[in-house]
Amino acid sequence: MSEVLEVAISRELAEKIREHGVETYPYECCGAMLGRDLALSENAASGKKSHSIPREVLSLFPLVNRRDDSPRNRFSVTADDVRDAEKTARAQGLEVIGWYHSHPDHPARPSDYDRDHAWPWYSYVIVSVATGVPQDMTSWRLKDDRSGFLEEKIAPIEVSARN
């Protein structure tokens, strides 16, 4: 795994994640984050190192939370949804590099349940939504030994230098 734990997300896409969390409140929202990971794409042997952003989110793929039994504190994405997200990513020349979800009326920190169900390598973005208002947004990666998460920095990238 890369030593630099950082994921770049434009302010516009970060805002869309917050909006999704507000839209589904008091239920959890979820979606895929499509983008590029430099360490993974280096293996494509293009030899190109055009930029040094280790991992960046370039597009979102919002999903429907499949947990209708306890949608306030759980979310679920089926294997078919994952395949759809991967297909959409490939069509854009991207990869699924992570997943976002909201924690309604709970802090933006991963729970034990998040850890038990997490995959390594992916970035897991959590947005806290308190009484319908978006709060903190954090990002996490599962440790190699599955004992917990490491927080990664969310680096805002400006789509436009203006405004």
Site residues (vs other proteins, CB under 8 A):
1, 28, 30, 39-40, 43, 67, 70, 72-79, 81-83, 86, 95-97, 99, 101, 103-106, 110-114, 117-122, 124, 144-146
Could you tell me the two tokens for 83? 């395949």
**CB 162 → other proteins: shortest distance, Å?**
35
Distance CA 60, CA 146 (A): 26
Nearer to other proteins, 79 or 91 (CB): 79
**CB 159 → other proteins: shortest distance, Å?**
25
Nearer to other proteins, 18 or 74 (CB): 74
Distance CA 2, CA 8 (A): 14
Nearer to other proteins, 23 or 158 (CB): 23
In three-state secondary structure terms, 85 is helix
**CB 155 → other proteins: shortest distance, Å?**
21
Q: Which residues of 132-150 are buried (b: 16+ CB within 10 A; e: fewer)?
A: eebbebbbbbbeeeeeebe
Nearer to other proteins, 19 or 114 (CB): 114
AA letter at 21: G
